Amino acid sequence: MTVEKKKIQVGLVMPIAMIDNCGPEHWLEVKSIITEALSNHEKYQFETKLVSESDSVGLIHKRIVQGLHNSDIVICDVSCKNPNVMFELGMRLAFDKPTIIIKDDKTNYTFDAGGIEHVEYPRDLRFTKVVEFKNTLLRKTIATLEDSLRDPNHSPFLKSFGQFKVAKLDETEVMPIDLIIDKLNEMQSDVASLKSSQAYNRNKDTHQITPPVRFRLKKEIINAIEVGVINYLQRLEPGTRPNQKDLSTDIVLHLVEDPKIAQVQTTTIQDCVIEILNNIGYTA
């Protein structure tokens, strides 16, 4: 008699684009290793995907927050200390839900998360070390998951600092999802303003004017981005019209899945997407 396995939603938080000389192909391989580590278990059927992944098209910020909150367990790769990853890790820890932190052997511990156990893997992905990592990851994942299933009041993180009311998305007295999205938008706006200021300071002394993005990228890259933008817009649900900033951020996340596009800096891709949206009259 075959026993039906319990389905477990595993959310992944990890870099996906170039950072610290690790390109998109590297992160795809790391993602594959994590998925393989959890692929065969006699008791649980792990469904592993990025917290941003969804079957429907919608605001990326909303999907990330929901994925961070709703996943049964989250595996967070803090390798290279990607700012977005660290921010999402903080949100997951605030929800006080089961979380596994992993990192490569070239990344130092972060002060704020240094007291939490990290599962380490080799950045060069050596086979023997990767096999050891996969076994350790599976063991830690099962132990952490079962601790939370046995005890409804299980607190993997916040209990170390006192008594807290854990944030929930369905309670009005705690931080609502709209507020979190607003904060993310503010952070993006601040970063964009800082980059614009830096670009101006670099150019004002030499009296140079920065040309449009489309003149700074190879034609094949521009064509691939344009096709990706059009395809994405065609998939939007009828009547859906997100603002340009949220839409461009969501489109970029999908575009960087193309290894050719992912070689370009994320900010440059987004600048290009915004130019394309402006050219076709999408200024919502």
Q: What is the mean pLDDT of residues 236-265?
A: 84
- pLDDT value of residue 243: 84
Quote the percentage of the chain above a pLDDT of 90.
33
pLDDT band at 274 (very low <50, low <70, confident <90, very high): confident
Query: Average pLDDT of 109-131?
Result: 85
pLDDT of residue 242: 81
- Where does the chain show beta strands of DSSP type E? 6-13, 44-50, 73-77, 99-104, 118-121
Residue of 45 and 226 predicted with greater confidence: 45
Measured distance CA(108)–CA(27) in Å, rounded: 18
Among 85-99, 137-151, 157-171, 229-243, the minimum mean pLDDT is found in 157-171
CATH architecture of the domain covering 6-175: 3-Layer(aba) Sandwich (3.40)
The two tokens of residue 258 are: 């193309």
> What is the pLDDT averaged over residues 247-263?
87
With 0-12 / 13-18 / 19 or more C-beta atoms within 10 angstroms meaning exposed / middle / buried, residue 23 is: middle
In the prediction, which pLDDT does 276 show?
Answer: 83
Residue 46 has pLDDT above 90, yes or no: yes
The mean pLDDT value for 139-162 works out to 81
Residue 140 or residue 210, greater confidence: 140
**Whole-angstrom Cα distance, residue 80 to residue 85?**
10
Residue 174 has pLDDT above 50, yes or no: no
Q: What is the pTM of this model?
A: 0.60
Cα separation, 270 vs 70, whole angstroms: 28
Average pLDDT of the residues of the chain: 80
Residues 55, 57, 61, 66, CA torsion sign: negative
Per-residue pLDDT, 172:
46
pLDDT of 59 above 80: no
Token readout for 179 is 């507020």
Residue pLDDT, tens place only, 188-241: 555 555 555 555 555 555 544 444 554 467 888 888 888 888 888 878 776 777
Domain ranges of the chain: 6-175, 211-284
